[in-house]
Amino acid sequence: MDLNIDRNAGTPVIRQLVTHLGEWIHAQHIRPGARMPSIRSLARENGVSLSCVIKAYDQMVASGVLESRHGSGFFVAQQAARAAEPDTDPGDGRWSLFDNASTQLKLGCGWLPDAWRDDTDLGQAIRQVVRSDNHALFNYSSPLGSPHLRLQLQKRLGLIDIHVDPAQIITTQGASQGLDLLVRTLLKPGDLVLVESPGYYNLFNLLKLQGVRTVAVPRTAQGPDIARLEQLLGEHKPSYFFINSMYQNPTGTSLAPSVAYRLLQLATAHDFRLIEDDIYADFQNGPTSRLASLDALDRVIYLASFSKTLSSSLRIGYVVAQPDIIRRLADVKMITGIGCSLLAENVVATLLANGAYRKLIQRLRQRLNKQMASTLRHLDPAHWEVFAEPMGGMFVWAMPRYLTAQRVQQIARQLQIQLSLGSTFLPQGEACDWLRLNVAHTQDHRAQVFFQRVEQESIVAGQ
């Protein structure tokens, strides 16, 4: 059985084996109890090592798709066909990026490829907490979150000139829950807030869910468009402005110092607060302007997470604010979910304390920088418009000059590439020819072919 394993794909071989074997069981309606191909034959026919096949089979046993019978091989488990089935998408396509069974190249997704992941440090930290911190393995965390983690966060925040007390830090299940707690605690239906356009699509979803009205401020290469903001502040009285200061999602742009300063002035003059979502903070490459560092958390509420760097699976983020706001957030956090995983919190604390996290983000920055440069080289200015060359991070916001979004989408589909279309990042979801590209995924050979085809067709279309 040839499974079309692709050694140049971003996806590790073992994962490709698991996915393709699962699809094969499902597509062929292989009955429960059927014997799987031998390890030896599968390895030979796909040109992979025996140990890769063994690991793939082990994983499929662990996940209930296969059963191992001592001495006689691997067999399809009861209901295995179901386990291999891809998830239905509850949001009419809205969550298709989160379909883990998909083998498409997610060229615009918001995370790093599996091939970039090294489980050495994270695995070791997990084993250490499991071994030495039995309490964390079994028990609820406290309302503000693990004191050990918050102490480490306090130190880390000090390094980027955000000087706070641990009582000003609350852990959250990723920055997503941080945003949700802020919206639930500080806003009520009908309230009006400012958002960036283009901006983070799930923030738009969240505000809509809570009945909060939004006014969009255009994003420029230097941050929010200050002239437009001043005009909007003449017409509206927003209570909050949600912003990504650094490596903004989706444009990859960062706040210029003068824009940051002017934003804080306007916040004071017009009495609104800034919610600074800094989840790309740890990709930082050089000097930057952070609202929370400038204003010392007077009018700024700061949030960040470990989902983009360390692991999205741990679900650990945090919010930093005045103690009275933190207390209110903690109360809502407990009422609505009784806190974070103490195990996950202490795993992150361990990696912060032993220096492994610092080394991880150094490696990621270097690798992302290299990929950013290589991606920008693919985006020939003759054929692509790039919104602004990002100074770091994962995202480039780009648009083919001569092809429509529909045509680009067709090319991508033929190559098994899933794009992240610009309209997703507009508060009202209007049509848009821009694309969010994640530079960490442009190494994949499908991305290379995609850029070539766009260029070839652009040459024809541009003539």
| Among 183, 193, 206, 269, residue whose Cα is nearest residue 238 | 193
Q: Pattern 73-92, binding to a copy of itself, x per CB under 8 A?
A: ------x--xxxx-xxxxx-
Q: At closest approach, how far in Å is the CB of 7 from a copy of itself? A: 17
What CA–CA distance (Å, rounded) separates 184 from 193? Answer: 13
**Interaction of residue 68 with a copy of itself, rule CB under 8 A:** no
- Which of the ranges 167-175, 221-229, 370-378, 453-461 carries the binding residues for a copy of itself, by CB under 8 A? 167-175
**Interaction of residue 193 with a copy of itself, rule CB under 8 A:** no
**Interaction of residue 367 with a copy of itself, rule CB under 8 A:** no
**Interaction of residue 191 with a copy of itself, rule CB under 8 A:** no
Of the two residues 55 and 262, which places its CB atom closer to a copy of itself in the complex? 55
**Interaction of residue 151 with a copy of itself, rule CB under 8 A:** yes
Among 7, 40, 98, 231, binds a copy of itself (CB under 8 A): 98
Place of tokens 């604010």: 321
**Interaction of residue 50 with a copy of itself, rule CB under 8 A:** no
The footprint of a copy of itself on residues 258-287 (CB under 8 A) is: none
Among 44, 155, 163, 359, binds a copy of itself (CB under 8 A): 155
What CA–CA distance (Å, rounded) separates 196 from 217? Answer: 5
**Interaction of residue 328 with a copy of itself, rule CB under 8 A:** yes
Number of alpha helices (DSSP H) and beta strands (DSSP E) in the chain = 17, 16
Q: At closest approach, how far in Å is the CB of 153 from a copy of itself? A: 11
What CA–CA distance (Å, rounded) separates 272 from 300? Answer: 9
Q: Give yes or no for a contact between 302 and 321, defined as CB atoms under 8 angstroms apart.
A: yes
Q: Give yes or no for a contact between 246 and 290, defined as CB atoms under 8 angstroms apart.
A: yes
**Interaction of residue 235 with a copy of itself, rule CB under 8 A:** no
Of the two residues 6 and 99, which places its CB atom closer to a copy of itself in the complex? 99
Among 218, 337, 429, 462, binds a copy of itself (CB under 8 A): 337
Is the backbone of residue 71 left (phi > 0), alpha (psi -120 to 50) or beta? Answer: left
Residue-wise burial string across 401-425, b where 16 or more C-beta atoms lie within 10 A, e elsewhere: bbbebeebbebbeebebbbbbbbbb
Among 21, 36, 42, 129, binds a copy of itself (CB under 8 A): 129
Q: Give yes or no for a contact between 335 and 184, defined as CB atoms under 8 angstroms apart.
A: no
